[in-house]
A and B are shown apart, each in its own frame.
Chain A
Amino acid sequence: MTLDPAYLDYPRRRHGYDHDLYPWSALHERAPVVWPGGKTVAIWVVVSLEWFPLVPSDTPFRAPGHMATAYPDYRHYTAREYGTRVGVGRFLDAFAAAGIKASFATNAAIAERYPELVADIVVRGHEIVAHSTDMNGTIATGLAEADERDLIARALDTLERITGTRPRGWLSIARSQSWATVDLLKAAGVDYCCDWVNDELPWRFANGLANLPLNHELSDRQVIGTCQASAASYAEQITDAFDWLAGEKGGRLLPIHLTPYISALPYRIGAIERLLADLAQRPQAWFATGSEILDSWTRQKSGKNVA
């Protein structure tokens, strides 16, 4: 067997990327960013609020955390719902105690089904980021573009109708996009997505959409769910990340991506509470929502001082 000779052709071997979605830029060569109040580390807490229909969809793929047994999978359905009924309240209390604002990446179905929850989140000053329709609303190449456009519109329209504000941010399920997603989000009026994990500051696609890197490596799903670390180890790793970033020259973005059914469990929430309380009293820390971080960064990029 011999490989097709075309396997040794490299048509996009050129300076910069092998795509035109966004330009290359090295972080250490950019003008330093300073967050409001002279802070150097923007801490962006993102909470995923997810509703998993009891009948999972595999089109285009099954979301992480979705139903796993034969129908009806009461085990996983209710364990996820525990996060929405009980766990998220622990997060809200912890955020209030630490005096911090967060972004809630929210399925539209959560707002439709539990409007009192999203109303409480909004009243407390947190941001609602659109997070698809429900956990069957996955996106990847293979989903028809018209269907993807419709999914994005339904998610944004529903959240706007129920919360009174059109979300400025978008998080795809599993951060998974198709080739069309960046343009569809831009056309739908979204200001930023959170899916590309390649940086520690915001950046913009060629079409003008911004990306806030929501590093999956620093998520509770990755560290606790996949790597099976304890909550104490997770908090230690986030603290180590903060300490490192606070020591670098130029402002940085530290994302902390939390899932109620993972780290708001009774035996884990204490470590999260202590982590947030510790970081909230650090002089370099600016806790902010995605929109606040994007706006501060955009003002600085346009040459207007924020301080």
Chain B
Amino acid sequence: MTNTMQSNSLAIEVTDLTVAYQEKPVLWDVDFNVPQGVLLAIVGPNGAGKSTLIKTILGLVKPVAGRILVLGAQYQARKQLIAYVPQRSSVDWDFPTNVLDVVLMGRYGHLGWIRRPSPKDKKLAIECLERVGMADFAGRQISQLSGGQQQRVFLARAFIQEASIYLMDEPFAGVDATTEKSIIELLREIKKSGKTVICVHHDLETLKEYFDWVMLLNVRRVSLGPIATALTPENLKRAYGGRALFLDQKGDTRV
């Protein structure tokens, strides 16, 4: 329904955004526009405000100043169209529930208050689990999952939201190489269908291979754009400061 309506608008539009925790600025006067249909990595050193940026877009953190538009409107009006994948470590995996139940939680936004998931929602949850190769685990207690399996469950939970924009906080943290490859395959699939994927990312080595757009962030926005133009050695130096990090012609990084 929304695709034609928003085909011209930007996925995310941020103007003069400043966020502070206890008077200490975490994000300082950040401006950027993200077009629809890109696979964007947000990179920067620890404490650069990457997670905070995602949380501010989602309305979880209140900015001191600035304006954020999602698909041309306030977040509240667009929340159905945004899927959020928090850091895997942000939840208690010993919580008494199973895989199917966690995936169904992604459906709660569509259901609204009080209404319960229907058999149709459950069917959809199984389909999403199939997409991430976890259908056999539907009834499994979540504490029995490996790190990679947990991340796949979180992805399935995001898919069931049928969103236009996917905001992910370090989806590759603590997963093995095989899972990483299959996750990036899934993200490319999402992108191919015209949707926008924004990931907080840590690994500069895989950046060029996995993403097509990048934002370098260190409290201020350093650069944003297609990898070829935004990921220059000067920009990297500006983002990571004096910390010895070199990017040679081949794109290898050493720390």
Say if A and B assemble together.
no
Residues of A bordering B, CB below 8 Å: none
Which chain B residues have a beta carbon within 8 Å of chain A's beta carbons? Answer: none
